[in-house]
Amino acid sequence: MPSPTIFSYSLEDENGTKGTVDLFVAYDAATETVASILGAAAAFGGLIDAVTGALVIEFNVKINALPDPSWKDTVVADTDIEKTLLLNFNAADTKYPEPVMVPGVLATLIDTDGKPVIASGAIKALTDAIAAGSGAVYPNNKFLLDLTSLRDAAVTFRKRKGSLKSTRRKA
């Protein structure tokens, strides 16, 4: 069963207190465009704005989808969601890295020193695709600066009640 799309509106009152309005919607994915969905979200935002005394400071559209049938359908044995692949990317026009985190990194992608294998294989394919884009989308940071190359990568593990351990490898 598909999940609904969510129009989410962030509101703020005169004291700076924030609230949220979530509206679950359905639409015909075969005929509706991103522009028409954003237009509908903006129209509902106007109706919410007319009802609230707070300021609508932002709205988001979250489109949920089912996993692709080509993806694995069972968990790989001994996968720990807390063992995370941290990929830091260089972004255009800034010295600050942009992190991309992938929880549950496969043990086969970690070398004997506990560092991610970035020179070949699945991690390299992912980092190359992020840096190059797909032709339809181009990964950016939150300021819409292009992610240009992998800066470094690490495997991190958050203990249940402890600090973050990390092993880092330069790209």
The domains of the chain are located at 5-62, 83-170
| Residue ranges in the chain modelled with pLDDT below 70 | 1-3, 158-171
Single pTM value for the model: 0.73
Q: What is the pLDDT of residue 166?
A: 55
Residue 14 to residues 46, 54, 56, Cα–Cα distance (Å): 19, 7, 12
User: Tokens in use for 59?
Assistant: 């709205």
Is the Cβ–Cβ distance between 66 and 59 less than 8 Å?
A: no
Q: What is the pLDDT of residue 168?
A: 60
Q: What is the pLDDT of residue 93?
A: 95
